[in-house]
Chains A and B, each alone.
Chain A
Amino acid sequence: MLSVDGYSDPPRISDLSFEVNSGELVLLLGGPGSGKSRFMDVLAGLRRGCGDSVEIGGLSPADTAARRRCSYVFQGDNFDGTRSVAKQLGRALLAYGGSAASVAGEISEWALRWEISDIERPGRELDLASLQAASLGLGLLPDTDLVVMDEPARNLDPERTLILLEALRDRGRRAVLALVSPPTPLAEVADRIVFAGGDGGDEI
């Protein structure tokens, strides 16, 4: 589903290669400043990688067709802080092809499950844990083949971290790539761990 072949971002990452196949949960592990967020931008087609080394379903991440198959959760700034989070989340789901009627129901269910009582309010009025929980909806609610998340457990309280682990266990045929700093609670549900700083992308 996702293929990374010799991605480099000197001096942080050199010659990173790995694949994420359907149904797999792969963690890309790296400390702060290891180039994970820059790599996230490359995966989202917002930054050019060296030598077109990243492909999603055989397509460049900048291709709209590739982005239709992939959903993203960035480390921060997933929503405009001045407007309703629910409204922005709803628009994103509509962009993935959801219907207006089903989207409203999905967001209500999501808010209930993740205990986001103020999801209708502007992003800046939500606490960090609720905002992160709402951001995870951008990645996990759309019906995509691949989910890419940058520090998904960041800012989550223990209860919501458990909900995230449960959601990742129930991923079905979806491929998931999570970019995380150690130590991470996601390690217990991961199929593979790739080290961002390692030469050539060491795996365990």
Chain B
Amino acid sequence: MRSSGRLWLGESVDLVFDIRRVSLYLIVPPVLAFIVYFEAYLSGVGATRIMSLGQRVMLALWNSTILLSLIAGLQGGAFFSRVFGSAWFRNRLALPSARLHAFCWFLTSYGALVTIFYLLTAFAILVAMPRPSDFATLPALVNCYTPLLWSVAASALFGLLARPGAASFLFLATVTMGSVTGLPQVAGKLPDWIASVLRVIFPRLGDSFLGSMGVESYGYFSLAVPLHALVLLLVGAWVFLRLARGRR
């Protein structure tokens, strides 16, 4: 790797893997364990529909995704806003390194942090919970992973556009809209054209969830979320370069 590329790799790893940032993710295992046991209890007493073994594993994976996505997005919005908005970061862009490297490496490092915790959590779920022999582990892992990528891309974009608190709020608002607009109960009450527009603007997280749980079988939905993430990523890179070049 060129020395100019290593600059931003080093800077991003230093800040992203800061112990104060990483420690927040340690709440995921206990909260997840509580949710899984609580869902099993509700299912046992008949409060929720009876789920197959595969669906229970899938639901646990989704729970870990939702938890990690919320932490990654809420913390990420504030983090990216603080870093990209800081004077030292701006002055560091004067160093001889392609400016896009700064954006890409911070995103990559943050994505790596989230991915590590996702893999650890998913591994724990797959080891701890019984699953049917025909359970498609890899597609399930990939499908539940895509919202995390979306969260990282969205939080970076919102971090560029807004102050720390507002960036986190924007993330939360978008996730909420993306989750509810995909649900048939909500989409059915809206005029078609509004529902269509909302489905383009917001990620189809609700659809992706229902599809993977076997409630609705929309195979292509697993592609909709990463494509949405890719668009946010490209917009983020464009905004970053515009901001790095400054005003007149």
Contacts and interface: CB of A to CB of B under 8 A. Distances in A.
B88 A77 contact: yes
A69 to B, nearest CB: 8
Could you tell me the dominant secondary structure of chain B's interface residues? helix
Contacts of B99: 64
B88 A64 contact: no
Interface residues of A, number: 30
B69 to A, nearest CB: 27
Contact of A67 (B15, B95, B245, B247): B95
Interface in B91-134: 91-99
Interface string A36-58: 00000100111111100000000
Contacts of A98: 3
B216 interface: no
Given A67-B94, A67-B95, A95-B4, A80 B248 contact: no
Interface stretch (B6-14, B42-50, B225-233): B6-14
Contacts of A67: 94-96
B106 to A, nearest CB: 13
A40 to B, nearest CB: 9
Contacts of A64: 4, 96-99
B18 to A, nearest CB: 8
Given A81-B88, A91-B10, A46 B3 contact: no
B245 A62 contact: yes
B246 interface: yes
B244 interface: yes
Nearest to B5: A95
B248 A68 contact: no
B7 A47 contact: no
B23 interface: no
B52 interface: no
Contact of A45 (B4, B86, B92, B94): B94
B90 A46 contact: yes
A92 interface: yes
B247 A47 contact: yes
Contacts of A105: none
A94 interface: yes
Contact of A47 (B3, B98, B246): B246
A91 to B, nearest CB: 5
A70 B194 CA distance: 53
A22 interface: no
Contact of A80 (B7, B88, B93, B244): B88
Nearest to A42: B246
B19 interface: no
Contact of A95 (B86, B87, B97, B244): B97
B6 A94 contact: yes
A67 B20 CA distance: 34
Given A45-B245, A97-B3, A68 B90 contact: no
A74 B91 contact: yes
Given A64-B96, A74-B91, A94-B6, 11 more contacts: A47-B245, A48-B248, A67-B94, A72-B94, A76-B87, A77-B86, A79-B88, A80-B86, A87-B14, A91-B11, A96-B96
Q: What 7 A-B pairs have minimum CB-CB distances, sorted nearest first?
A: A77-B87, A47-B246, A44-B94, A68-B96, A95-B7, A67-B96, A77-B88
8 contacts: A46-B93, A64-B96, A67-B95, A67-B96, A72-B94, A80-B88, A87-B14, A91-B11
